[in-house]
């Protein structure tokens, strides 16, 4: 993949993630924490991310967390196809399955593990894959 192609992909991911995090009505400090932004990324950089004039750093941890955020948002769109506002509501609502805690608090307290727990709750295929329930591949089956 060329450098220009990589930069375009990173810019697209940045805009998509910022749209989700803004939709979830999160402040910049919370966004920084969810994405595990490196120290050198200042709060004012989030305005540039939002405008599309800058992209997230290509840090593997940041990119993994971006993937979780996008998958959670996609699963919530699937779960609530007729109510696009439900995504931001659900992320802030207390959930019985989380012991009365909110999904956003699970993410903030658990970091990447918290993102995986929340994704597992809204995306049954992710939870199913995590249990090792994947069908055996042709190369790996006996």
Residue ranges covered by each domain of the chain:
3-130
Longest dimension (CA), the chain: 55
Q: With 50 as the cut, is the pLDDT of residue 52 above it?
A: yes
d(CA 75, CA 69): 10
| 5: pLDDT strictly greater than 80 | yes
Instruction: Write the DSSP symbol of residue 137.
Output: P
| pLDDT per position as a tens digit, 11-39 | 999 999 999 999 999 999 999 999 999 98
What is the reported pLDDT for 4?
82
| The residue to which tokens 């399955």 are assigned | 97
For residue 101, list its beta bridge partners: 95
Q: Which residues pair with 95 in a beta bridge?
A: 101
More confident residue, 55 or 43: 55
Give the number of other Cβ atoms within 10 Å of residue 86's Cβ: 15
Residue 105: is its pLDDT beyond 90? yes
Dihedral pair phi/psi, residue 131, rounded to 5°: -85, -5
What is the rounded distance in angstroms from the CA atom of residue 18 to the CA atom of residue 24? Answer: 10
Q: DSSP assignment, residue 97? A: G
pLDDT for the residue 134: 53
Provide the 3-class DSSP secondary structure of residue 37.
coil
**Confidence class for position 92, pLDDT limits 50, 70, 90:** very high
Helical (H) or strand (E) element with 9: helix 3-23
Contacts of 15 (CB under 8 A, 6+ apart): 49, 52
If you average pLDDT over every residue of the chain, what do you get? Answer: 88
């Amino acid at each position: 993949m060329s450098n220009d192609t990589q930069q375009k992909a990173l810019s697209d991911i940045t805009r998509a993630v910022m749209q989700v995090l803004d939709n979830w009505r999160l402040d910049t400090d919370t966004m920084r924490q969810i994405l595990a932004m490196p120290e050198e990324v200042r709060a004012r950089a989030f305005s540039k991310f939002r405008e599309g004039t800058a992209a997230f750093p290509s840090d593997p941890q940041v990119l993994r967390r971006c993937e979780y955020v996008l998958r959670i948002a996609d699963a919530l769109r699937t779960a609530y196809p007729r109510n696009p506002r439900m995504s931001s509501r659900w992320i802030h609502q207390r959930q019985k399955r989380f012991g009365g805690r909110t999904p956003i608090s699970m993410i903030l307290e658990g970091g990447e593990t918290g993102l995986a727990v929340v994704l597992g709750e809204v995306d049954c295929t992710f939870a199913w894959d995590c249990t090792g329930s994947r069908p055996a591949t042709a190369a790996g089956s006996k």
